[in-house]
Structure 1
Amino acid sequence: MKFIHAADIHLDTPFANIKNFSKQLQNNLRNSTYTAATKVFDTAIREHVDFVILAGDTYDNTEHSLTAQQFLNNQFTRLKENNIEVYLVYGNHDYYRNDFASIKFPENVHIFTNQVSTLEVESHDGLKVGITGFSYYQQHVNQDMVTEYPSRGKYDYQIGILHAGVGDNNYSPFTVNELLTKGYDYWALGHIHKREVLHENPFVVYPGDTQGRNQNETGTKGFYLVTVLSKITNIDFVPSSSYVWKKDAIAAEASDNLSEMIKKIDSKLDTDDFGLLTLDINNAQLLNEDLVKSIERGDLLHHFEDNISNTILYRVYLKFGNSQQLKQIDQRFWDDSVEKVFDLNSIKDLDKKLYNIDVLREHMDSPDFLKNIQELTKSTINKKFIGEEK
C-alpha cells in the first residue's frame, strides 16, 4: 500500500512585501502554492498510490476562491482517472462554512465533517484501511478532539488525520501519548509548518507546508510518500517548494562602503538554488553613519531588484552589536529584566484582537519569536549608543 500525506498547501497565499519584485516574480510567487500542489498530485499518479491525505488548510482562507476550487477539481479528476482516492479535512484557515459557493468535487473525494468519523477503503494490495478524522467548522477548536477518536477498529491498517497543535488550546490541543493510546498505525498531522516526526512506530508526522509562505518558513518544503509493506511503514520526504526561504548573515567592517557591501551580498546570492534571502548585517555599529542611513532607506534592496541570480534578496536587517555601556553597566539590568519584559503571554495579552488574527498568532507562536524580538530590541538599544561612543 502507498499513500501521500500532505498538509497546509495554502492555495492563494497572498505573499507579503513583494511589490518591489518584477511582475513575473510576483506572479511566480503567488502561483508557487499551486505549483507545489501540482507536485503532490503528479507524485501520487507517478507512484500509483492508493490515496492522498490532505490534512487541513488546503486553502489559505475560508473563502475557497473559485480559482482554487477549479484547480483542485481538475487535479482530483486526474486522480479519479488513475483510481486514486482523496481524504480531506478542513483546518483553521479553510474551515468549512456552507455549500452555496462550492464546486462539487468528483466522487473519489471524501471530506470529513465536523464530527469525528471513520471511512473505509481497500488498498490495491487488499488491505482493509480505516481513516479517521474531522474538519474544522469554525476558526478555533478549543476542545481536545482526540477524545472523540475511537480506539483502533478491526482494520489491517488505521490512520488518524488531525489538524492540531501539541498543547495549543486554540487548535484541538493534544499530546503524543494521547494519540498513541488509540492504537493507530499512522497519524497524519497538519497545522504546523515545520516538518517533524513526533514519534516512530507508529509514525506521528507533521509534513509541514508544501511551499514556504514567509521569511520565517525557511528550508525546503514538501510532503511524505508513505509505503506500507508487510505491516512495516516507511516514509520518504518529497520536496515540492519552488522557492526556498533562506536566512544568512554577513559581518560589517569599519572600512566598508556601499560598493564593498554590494560585493559581500553578491557572494550570498551567487547560488544555484531558487530562493528568497533574508540577510542580517552584523556589527552594524562599525559602519559609517551615512552608509547606515542608505541601507535603512532601502538602497541595497533597490540595487538588487533586477538581479538575475537565482537567489533573490528579500530583506536586509542591520544588527548592532553590544556597546561598551551595555556591556559594562546595562547588561546586568538587561539580564534581570529580560524574563519579565519578554513574557510571551504578556505580549499576547497586549492586544487580544490582534492575537486573534491567524497570521499574527502563528508568528507569535513560532519557536523563534521571542528570540527575534530580544535581538531586535538589543540592536535598537545598541544603535542609540553609537553616537555617544564615537
Structure 2
Amino acid sequence: MKFIHAADLHLDTPFTGISKYSLEVQNKLKKSTYSAAKKVFETAVEENVDFIILAGDVFDNTERSLSAQTFLNEQFIRLQENNIDVFIIYGNHDYFRNDLGILEYPSNVHVYGQDVETIRYVSKDNKTVDLTGFSYYQQHIDEKMIEKFPTRGTADYQIGILHGGIGDDNYAPFQISELVSKGYDYWALGHIHKREILNQNPYIIYPGDTQGRNQNETGIKGFYLVDMNSNQVNIEFKESSEYIFDVKNIAISKDESLKAIIDDISALLVDDNTLVTLNINHAENLDENVIRMIDRGELQDQFKNNSDSLLYKIYLNYNPGNTLSTIDEKYWNISSENVFDLNDIKDLDNKLFNVDLIRNRINESDFLDDIKEKTQNIINKKSAGE
C-alpha cells in the first residue's frame, strides 16, 4: 500500500518584492506553487499510489481563488481516472468558512470537517486503512485536538493527519509522546515549512512546503512517498521545487574594487533556478559610493537578467570597530538583556502579533538572536561611518 504525504502547497502565494525581475521570471515565480503541486499529482499517477494526503494549507488564504480551485479540480479528476483518492484537511491559512464559494470536488476527494473524524479506506491490495484528522474552521486553534484523536482501531493501518505545532498554543498544540501513544502507523503533519522527521517508530513527519516562498525557506522542497508493506514503513523524499532559495556569503577586503565585487558575486550565481540572498560581510571595507549603489538597488539590478541564479536580496554586515568592541561590549551585553525582552516585543503591537507571518517569526527559536544581530549591525555601520 502506497501513498503520498504532502502539505502546505500554498497555492496563490503572491510572491511580493519581485517586480525588479523580468516578466518571465515574475510569472514563473507566481506559478511555482502550481508547478510544485503538479509534481505531487504527477508522481501519484506515475507511482500508482492508493491515495494522497494533503495536510493543510493547500491554499494560501481562505479566499481560494477560482483558478486555484479549478486547477485542483482538474488534478483530482485525473487522479480519479487513475483510481487514486485524496484526503484533505484545511489549516490555519485556508481554514473553512463556508462552502458558498467552493467548487464541488469529485467523489474520490475526502475533506475533513471541524470535528476529529476517521475515514476508512480499502487499498488496492485489499488492506483497510483508517485515516483520522480534522480541518481548521478558524485561524487559530488553542485546543489540544490531539486528545480527541481515538487510539488505534481495528484497521490494518491507521494514519493520523494533523496541522499543528509542538507546544504551539495557537495551532492545535501537541507533544510527540501524545502522538506515539495513539498507536498509529504514521502521522502526516503539516504547518511547519521545514522538512523534519520527528520520530521513526512510528514515523511522525513534517514534509515541509512543496515550494519555498521567501528567503527564510531555503533548500530543496518536496513531499514524501510512503510504502507500507507487512508492517514495515519505507519513506522516500521527492523534490518538487520550481525555484530554490539559498543564502551565499562574500567578504569584502580593504580597498576591494567594484569590478572585483561583481566578479565575486557572479561566481556564486551559477545554480539553475535559485534565488540567492547575499550576505556581504565586512561591509565597513566598502567604498561609500558602492554602499550607495547597493542601497539604491543598482548592484542587484546588475544581475536581474542572470541566466542561472537570481540575486534576490543583499544584506550588508558591518563588523564592530576595535574601539566599539572593547569599550561598549560590556554595556551592550547588559542593556540588550533588558531591551530585547520577547514578551515586550509581543506586546508592542497586538495587531501585528496577530498576523501569522509576524507571529510565526517571533516564535521561532532564533528570533531574538537575529534581532540582536541586526541591531548590532546598525550600530556597527554607524561606527564604521564615523
The TM-score with structure 1 as length reference comes to 0.97
Deviation at 1:127, TM superposition (A): 1.2
Offset at 1:356? Answer: 0.8
8 Å contact from structure 2 (residues 2, 228) kept in 1: yes
Distance 1:345 1:107 in 2: 48
Q: Over aligned residues, Cα RMSD in angstroms?
A: 1.1
CA deviation after TM superposition for structure 1 residue 298, in Å? 1.2
Contact 2:10–2:33 (CA<8 Å) still a contact in 1? yes
- Which residue pairs with 1:133 in the alignment? 133
Residue 274 of structure 2 corresponds to 275
Q: Which residue of 1 aligns with 2:316?
A: 318
Per-residue deviation at 1:302? 1.3
Q: For 1:172-212, what per-residue CA distance to the aligned partner results, in whole angstroms no more than 9, with x for missing partners?
A: 01100011111111100000000000001100100000000
CA distance in 1, matches of 2:218, 2:46: 28
The one of 371, 374, 385 equivalent to 2:372 is 374
Which residue in 2 is equivalent to 1:359? 357
1:340 deviation in Å? 3.0
Quote the offset at 1:323 in angstroms.
Answer: 1.4
| Cα displacement (A) at 1:267 | 0.6
Q: In structure 1, the residue corresponding to 2:91 is in which secondary structure?
A: coil
User: 2:223: which partner in 1?
Assistant: 223
Distance (whole Å) between structure 2 residues aligned to residue 14 and residue 363 of structure 1: 19
| Structure 1 equivalent of residue 337 of structure 2 | 339
The answer (yes or no) to whether the contact 1:251–1:282 under 8 Å persists in 2 is yes
For residue 325 of structure 1, report the CA deviation from its aligned partner. 2.5
Encode CA deviations 1:73-132: one digit per residue, 9 max, x unaligned: 000001000000100000000000111111000000000000000000011112111000
Aligned counterparts of 1:41 and 1:304: Cα–Cα separation in 2: 34
Q: Distance in 1 between matches of 2:152 and 2:277?
A: 46
Q: d(CA) in 1 for partners of 2:66 and 2:170?
A: 28
Name the structure 1 match of 2:254: 254
Structure 2 CA distance for aligned equivalents of residues 345 and 173 of structure 1: 20
How far apart are residue 326 of structure 1 and its match? 2.5
Post-superposition CA distance 1:19-61 (Å, at most 9, x none): 1111110000000000000000000000010000000000000
Q: 1:250 Cα deviation (Å)?
A: 0.1
3-state secondary structure, aligned to 1:278: strand
1:266 aligns to 2:266 (yes or no): yes
Q: Kindly state the Cα deviation for residue 335 of structure 1 after the two structures are TM-superposed.
A: 2.0
Residue 299 (structure 1) aligns with: 298
Q: Distance in 1 between matches of 2:385 and 2:89?
A: 56
The one-letter amino acid of 2:262's match is I
Q: Greater CA deviation, 184-193 or 295-304?
A: 295-304
Tell me the amino acid that sits aligned with residue 382 of structure 2.
K
Q: Name the structure 1 match of 2:144.
A: 144
* Aligned equivalents of 1:71, 1:366: Cα separation in 2: 33
- In the comparison of the two structures, how many residue pairs are matched? 386
Equivalent position amino acid for 1:381 in 2: I
2:347: which partner in 1? Answer: 349
**Which residue of structure 1 aligns with residue 37 of structure 2?**
37
Which residue in 2 is equivalent to 1:61?
61
Corresponding position of 1:211: 211
State the one-letter code of the partner of 1:375. Answer: E
Provide the residue aligned with 2:118 in structure 1: 118
TM-score, normalised to structure 2, is 0.98
Instruction: Report the AA paired with residue 288 of structure 2.
Output: E
Q: Describe the SS at the equivalent of 2:299.
A: helix
Residue 343 of structure 1: how far off its partner (Å): 2.7
Per-residue deviation at 1:330?
1.1
Larger deviation, residues 217-226 vs 360-369: 360-369
Deviation at 1:362, TM superposition (A): 2.4
Residue 373 of structure 1 and its aligned partner are, at CA, apart by: 1.6
**1:246: how far off?**
0.3
Residue ranges of structure 1 left out of the alignment (5+ in a row): none
Structure 2 residue identity aligned to 1:181: S
**Per-residue deviation, residues 151-190 of structure 1 (Å, max 9, x unmatched):** 1111111000000011111100110001111111110000
- CA–CA distance in 1 between the matches of 2:193 and 2:88? 18
SS at match of 1:205: strand
CA contact (8 A) 1:212 1:245 kept: yes
Q: Is the 8 A contact 1:254 1:288 kept in 2?
A: no
CA distance in 2, matches of 1:242, 1:54: 19
Tell me which residue corresponds to 2:106. Answer: 106
Give the unaligned 5+ runs of structure 2: none
Runs of 4+ in 1 over 6 A off after TM superposition: none
Q: Which position in structure 2 is the counterpart of 1:160?
A: 160
Matches within 5 A, 1:88-103: 88-103=88-103
Whole-angstrom CA distance in 2 between matches of 1:346 and 1:295: 33
Partner of 1:25: 25
Secondary structure at 1:360 match in 2: helix
| Separation in 1, partners of 2:336, 2:251 | 26
CA deviation profile, 1:256-280 (whole Å, cap 9, x unmatched): 1221111110011023x31100000
